[in-house]
Amino acid sequence: MSNPNLQVSAEVRALFPDVFKARPVDSHKGTFGSLGVIGGASGMSGAAVLAGTAAAYMGAGKVWVGFNQDSLPMPIIPGQPEILLATAKELMQRKDIDAWVIGCGFGLSDSSAELLRRILLLGIERAEHNVPMLLDADALTLLSLHEDLAALARQCPSIIITPHAAEAARLLHVSTELVAADRKTAVSALSDQYGGIAVLKGYQTLVADGAAVYQNNSGNPGLSTGGSGDVLSGIIGALLAQGISAWQATRAGVWLHGAAADYLRDLHGGEIGMLAGELPVAARAVRNAGVIRVKG
């Protein structure tokens, strides 16, 4: 996919300087970190695959997908053999993961809640390593259903939560209408409650870190399709695994996700029928378009 007109403004490049840096010539895959994606209960393997695929296209050195199932639902991901596969229980034991994305298609069963408890406890035990943990989708719904899990999440050292409006309402124990009526207050309350970064998704996604609220202006209704939030989690997770600060990685991930959708809209003459699975390649094109290479 290439489009000679694809340009990233100087203003955006200045906002996200680490995202648009050229790769060092002497890099190797370890330079770009390992991301662990945990999700994909039976019937929702696709959510974790979408997140993992997005992370691979966003430049993570290695991507693991851990399925919340007793055995692997597939030997390899068709079309994406680069991604390493494990069960969630196996993957959560690894100590070489630089960032986690947890929750895409994770499921809401009692056993999912128990697994999330163990993951959060490991995050607290390994707090000195400060490994960022992004919680999305069912992981967020589980926090809203189990106060003990929410309390554990608050103790994790570097947490990012990415609710849509309904998930935010569940976390705050208010109605979705109340969240929609004052999105800035809702996102600030969430970042305060969890002591980390909160992303309130939707039209003009907001990102808060307890000090500031960033409003994103890229993206379009083509994103209103199943799985596009899973892709966002993978994009942000990959930037975190690459060692970019949580504040920059989260805002840049939200911007890139929306810009990828805008690029697809321009390429295909409209927003209708955009697929979540198309976003990762488009996001790669946008990121590369923003990198300034010094010709030698």
Ligand X SMILES: NC(=O)C1=CN([C@@H]2O[C@H](COP(=O)(O)OP(=O)(O)OC[C@H]3O[C@@H](n4cnc5c(N)ncnc54)[C@H](OP(=O)(O)O)[C@@H]3O)[C@@H](O)[C@H]2O)[C@@H](O)CC1
Ligand Y SMILES: Nc1ncnc2c1ncn2[C@@H]1O[C@H](COP(=O)(O)OP(=O)(O)O)[C@@H](O)[C@H]1O
* Token pair for 27: 């890099």
Give least dist CB 183 to ligand Y, A.
Answer: 11
> What is the per-residue binding string for ligand X in 180-209, x denoting contact by CB under 6 A?
----------------------x-------
Residue 106 or 263: the one with the smaller Cβ distance to ligand X is: 106
> What is the per-residue binding string for ligand X in 156-185, x denoting contact by CB under 6 A?
--------xxxx--------x---------
Nearby residues of 20 by Cβ (< 8 Å), 6 or more positions away: 8, 13, 287, 290, 291, 292
> What is the per-residue binding string for ligand X in 224-263, x denoting contact by CB under 6 A?
--xx-xx---------------------------------
User: Whose CB is nearest to ligand Y?
Assistant: 229
Q: Which one of ligand X, ligand Y, none interacts with residue 223, CB within 5 to 8 A by kind?
A: ligand Y
Q: Which of 196, 190, 151 is nearest to 171 (CA)?
A: 190
> What is the per-residue binding string for ligand X in 34-53, x denoting contact by CB under 6 A?
----------x-xx------
Q: Which residues bind ligand Y (CB under 6 A)?
A: 137, 164, 201-203, 205, 219-221, 223-224, 226-230, 232, 257
Give least dist CB 107 to ligand X, A.
Answer: 7
* Token pair for 231: 């892709």
Is 201 marked as binding a ligand?
yes
Q: Which one of ligand Y, ligand X, none interacts with residue 218, CB within 5 to 8 A by kind?
A: none
Taking the C-alpha atoms of residue 84 and residue 222, their distance in angstroms, rounded to an integer, is 30
Spell out the SS3 assignment of the chain: CCCCCCCCCHHHHHHCCCCCCCCCCCCCHHHHCEEEEEECCCCCHHHHHHHHHHHHHCCCCEEEEEECCCCCCCCCCCCCCCCEEEEHHHHCCCCCCCEEEECCCCCCCHHHHHHHHHHHHHHHHCHHHCCCEEECHHHHHHHHHCHHHHHHHHHCCCEEECCCHHHHHHHHCCCHHHHHHCHHHHHHHHHHHHCCEEEECCCCCEEECCCCEEECCCCCHHHCCCCHHHHHHHHHHHHHHCCCCHHHHHHHHHHHHHHHHHHHHHHHCCCCCCCHHHHHHHHHHHHHHHCCCCCC
Is 263 marked as binding a ligand?
no
Q: Which one of ligand Y, ligand X, none interacts with residue 219, CB within 5 to 8 A by kind?
A: ligand Y
Binds ligand X (CB under 6 A): choice among 37, 98, 135, 138: 138
* Token pair for 30: 């370890």
Q: Which one of ligand Y, ligand X, none interacts with residue 224, CB within 5 to 8 A by kind?
A: ligand Y
Residue 138 or 278: the one with the smaller Cβ distance to ligand X is: 138
Residue 275 or 289: the one with the smaller Cβ distance to ligand Y is: 275
Q: Which one of ligand X, ligand Y, none interacts with residue 106, CB within 5 to 8 A by kind?
A: ligand X
Residue 61 or 230: the one with the smaller Cβ distance to ligand Y is: 230
Is 250 marked as binding a ligand?
no
- Contacts with ligand X by CB under 6 A lie at 44, 46-47, 104-106, 137-138, 141, 164-167, 176, 202, 226-227, 229-230
